[in-house]
Amino acid sequence: MDWPDTVGVVGGGVVGLATAYSVAARARAARSTPATSVTVYERDEPGAGSTTRAGCGLRTFYTTRTNVRLAQAGLRFWRRTEQTLGVDVNFRENGYCFLTDDGDTVAELDRQVRRQRAYGGPAFACTPEAVDRVPGLHAEHYRRAVVAPAAGVADPELMVEALLAGCEREGVTVRTETPVTDLDRVDDGVRVGTPEGTETVDRLVNAAGGWAPRVAAMLGDDLPVEPRRRRIAVLDADAPAGLPLTVDLDSGVYFLPGPDGRLLAGGHFSATPTVDPDAALTRERDPDYERDLLDRARRCAAVFDGTTVAESWTGMYAMTDSRVPIVERVDGVVHAAGFSGHGIMQAPGAGQVAADLVAGRRPSLASAAELARDRPTVAPDIQF
Ligand SMILES: Cc1cc2nc3c(=O)[nH]c(=O)nc-3n(C[C@H](O)[C@H](O)[C@H](O)COP(=O)(O)OP(=O)(O)OC[C@H]3O[C@@H](n4cnc5c(N)ncnc54)[C@H](O)[C@@H]3O)c2cc1C
């Protein structure tokens, strides 16, 4: 394996930090000489993009094998950060619960349960009446529930803290408030321009989330990733103990326990256009959205009766057609983008794949062909 001397990572969200950590840790383990120097360029603070705006559910219930494998690696990683990195990310294994009343979706979910088991993830279908961890569930509105018990929720701020601890231990330099403004391919690597000047790295990783297409465009590359705005709300109510991340697949509403134990709810209820990433993140409230959200949530479970929204904000889903991310190398540049609504759970696995690509190695965790942008078309994976 050929570990380069210098690696630059654009973006200090969960994907960039997980990749930087993975590259540095694996290069050290391989005793690369001289030691590989890894720098993260973050235009704001670590996690300031979509990462700390996420609801933060961790599931492995997907339709594509690639998404399952990335998420399984993520689940393994996030469960153990206290032992490995000294930071407990408040992982609670509450599971996921999918609900539907739609005949076609029932059939599809039943197929997915079988597939999920074949992929090694436990899941079972039951009647909505049998779901006992969603207090006040209006079971009469649904025909089928699917429960995926090996899944849970965690705290995205602590996840950033954990990855920063790992990066520090591995000697990664994290440069905050350092936007990358120019990129040029040069003979010996990629020249990186920031307001502080230019420097050349042997390999560059584009982990800029919703901004990844802009970073790719600096190199003349057209990355098929579309940033879409997504909103989530904190309610003025505590989440019931053990509440799974619960999704009404018909109405699109989902809810889960937040990091501080309060109830979080989100979902998107109409087609959303591609956004300018610089204008996508806001903490301004949206009363129409919040009203719609509460109506849908109350139809799902009585736990929302009498609740109001305490705050809401937006982040981005960086979408691909299939909802499978793109992790591919184009010459000296590795793109790790398009994580849609599952970047937090997939970041540790994606970081491993990106590290393999940085080193010029075939990824062992997932198929490089299925993570490349020109992969065969597959139906969009489950997304809410
Ligand atoms: C409401 C909501 C709920 C979600 N729920 C979940 C969930 O339950 N589970 C889950 O796994 N995921 C969830 N997600 C998705 C998850 O947040 C993203 O997939 C994940 O955070 C993507 O991480 P990232 O590192 O790719 O992007 P980001 O966190 O956006 O990081 C990209 C970073 O790049 C930096 N950057 C951009 N351009 C430049 C530049 N030119 N120079 C330097 N730095 C730059 C940005 O400042 C930013 O910090 C949710 C997202 C939202 C919005």
Confidence of residue 142 (pLDDT cuts 50, 70, 90): very high
User: Cis omega (within 30 of 0) on the bond before 34?
Assistant: yes
Q: What are phi and psi of 89, to 5 degrees?
A: -95, 15
Name the pTM for this structure.
0.98
| Any atom of ligand 1 within 6 Å of the Cβ of 155 | no
The pick from 10, 50, 255, 269 for probing ligand 1's pocket by mutation, whose C-beta has the most ligand atoms within 8 angstroms, reads 50
Residue whose entry in the numeric block shows the structure tokens 């992969």? 375
Determine the distance from the C-alpha atom of residue 154 to the mean position of all C-alpha atoms in its chain, rounded to a whole number.
Answer: 12
Question: Could you tell me which CATH class the domain 6-54+157-225+321-371 is placed in?
Answer: alpha beta
| Any atom of ligand 1 within 6 Å of the Cβ of 245 | no
How many angstroms separate the Cα of 103 from the Cα of each of 144, 182, 223, 384?
9, 51, 36, 19
Confidence of residue 79 (pLDDT cuts 50, 70, 90): very high
CATH code for the part of the protein at 127-140+226-319:
3.30.9.10
What residues contact 4, with CB distance under 8 A and at least 6 apart? 36, 189, 201, 202, 203, 358, 359
For 158-215, how does the pLDDT look when each residue is reduced to its tens digit (9 = 90+)? 999 999 999 999 999 999 999 999 999 999 899 999 999 999 999 999 999 999 999 9
- Distance, in Å, from the CA atom of 330 to the CA atom of 224, rounded to the nearest integer, reads 14
The pick from 70, 344, 345, 381 for probing ligand 1's pocket by mutation, whose C-beta has the most ligand atoms within 8 angstroms, reads 344
Domain boundaries, the chain: 6-54+157-225+321-371, 127-140+226-319
Q: What pLDDT does residue 367 have?
A: 95
Which residue's CA is minimally distant from atom 12 of ligand 1?
342
Which residue's CA is minimally distant from atom 21 of ligand 1?
51
The residue among 148, 81, 144, 94 whose CA lies nearest residue 119 is 148
| Any atom of ligand 1 within 6 Å of the Cβ of 160 | no
By the 10 Å C-beta count (0-12 exposed, 13-18 middle, 19+ buried), 70 is classed as buried
Whether the CB-CB separation of 373 and 328 falls below 8 Å is answered with yes
Selected residue with higher pLDDT from 378 and 277:
277
Confidence of residue 355 (pLDDT cuts 50, 70, 90): very high
